[in-house]
C-alpha cells in the first residue's frame, strides 16, 4: 500500500533525526508539529481511517478465521495507542514551546515510541493482515472499496480545512 511507503519515509527521517539528537537537547518543536500533523492527518485520519471506516467495516460482516479477526482487533487497538501517544506528544511539545525544558525527554521518548511503533505496525498489516483479508472479498467488493477509498481521500482535505476555519473563528 502506497500510504505505508510515505509513512515509512517520514518515520525514517524521524529516526535519523532522533539518532543525532541527545534526549537532553530539544528537537525543533516546529519539526515535531509537522510530524504530528502528518501522523494525525495522513497516517491516522487518512490511512487508519480508511482501514477502520471501510476495510474493517466490510470485513466485520465476513466469517473471518479467528486469528484474522483477532489480528483486526489488535490493529484497531494499535491505532488507538498511536492516537493516544500522539496526543501526549502534542502536550509535551506544547510544554516545551512554552519554555518547560523538562519536557525535552518526554518529547524524545514519545517520538522514539512512535518511530519504533510504525515500522512494526506496517509490517504486520502488509505481511500478516492485508493479503489474507483480501481473500474474504470478491473482486467486485475490492473494486467498490477502492472507489470508496478514493471518495474518502477526496473529502479528507475539506474535512481538515473546515476544522482549521472553525478553529480560526473560535479564536476571535
CATH number, domain of 34, equals 1.20.120.520
Question: Tell me: the pLDDT tens digits for 67-87?
Answer: 999 999 999 999 999 999 999
Q: Does residue 126 lie within any of the structural domains?
A: yes
Mean pLDDT of 114-129: 96
Query: What is the structure's pLDDT at 171?
Result: 78
24 in helix, strand or coil?
A: coil
Check whether 24 has a pLDDT greater than 90. no
In a domain, 169, yes or no: no
As a whole number, mean pLDDT of residues 112-140 equals 96
* Three-state secondary structure call for residue 100: coil
* Mean pLDDT computed over 122-143: 95
Q: Is residue 171 part of a domain?
A: no
What is the domain range of residue 130? 2-164
The pTM assigned to this predicted structure is: 0.87
- Buried b / exposed e across 88-123, counting CB within 10 Å, b at 16+? ebeebbebbeeeeeebbebbbebbebbbeebeebbe
Per-residue pLDDT, 123: 96
Q: Which long-range contacts (CB under 8 A, 24 or more apart) does 134-142 make?
A: 136/59, 136/62, 136/64, 136/68, 137/58, 137/59, 137/62, 141/58
Amino acid 159: pLDDT = 80
Look at residue 49 and tell me if it is in a domain. Answer: yes
The number of domains in the chain is 1
* 108 in any annotated domain: yes
Could you tell me which residues come within 8 angstroms of residue 72 by beta carbon, excluding any fewer than 6 positions away? 56, 59, 64, 129, 133
Q: Is residue 172 domain-resident?
A: no
Amino acid at each position: 500500500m502506497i500510504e505505508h511507503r510515505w509513512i515509512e519515509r517520514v518515520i525514517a527521517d524521524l529516526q535519523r533525526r532522533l539518532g543525532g539528537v541527545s534526549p537532553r537537547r530539544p528537537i525543533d518543536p516546529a519539526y515535531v508539529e509537522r510530524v504530528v500533523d502528518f501522523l494525525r492527518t495522513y497516517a491516522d485520519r487518512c490511512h487508519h481511517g480508511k482501514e477502520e471506516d471501510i476495510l474493517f467495516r466490510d470485513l466485520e460482516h465476513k466469517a473471518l478465521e479467528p486469528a484474522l479477526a483477532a489480528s483486526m482487533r489488535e490493529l484497531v487497538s494499535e491505532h488507538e495507542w498511536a492516537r493516544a501517544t500522539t496526543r501526549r506528544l502534542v502536550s509535551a511539545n506544547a510544554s516545551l514551546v512554552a519554555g518547560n525544558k523538562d519536557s525535552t525527554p518526554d518529547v524524545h521518548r514519545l517520538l522514539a515510541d512512535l518511530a519504533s511503533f510504525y515500522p512494526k505496525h506496517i509490517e504486520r498489516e502488509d505481511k500478516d493482515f492485508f493479503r489474507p483479508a483480501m481473500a474474504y472479498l470478491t473482486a467486485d467488493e475490492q473494486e467498490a472499496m477502492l472507489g470508496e477509498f478514493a471518495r474518502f481521500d477526496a473529502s479528507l482535505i475539506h474535512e481538515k480545512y473546515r476544522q482549521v476555519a472553525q478553529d480560526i473563528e473560535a479564536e476571535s
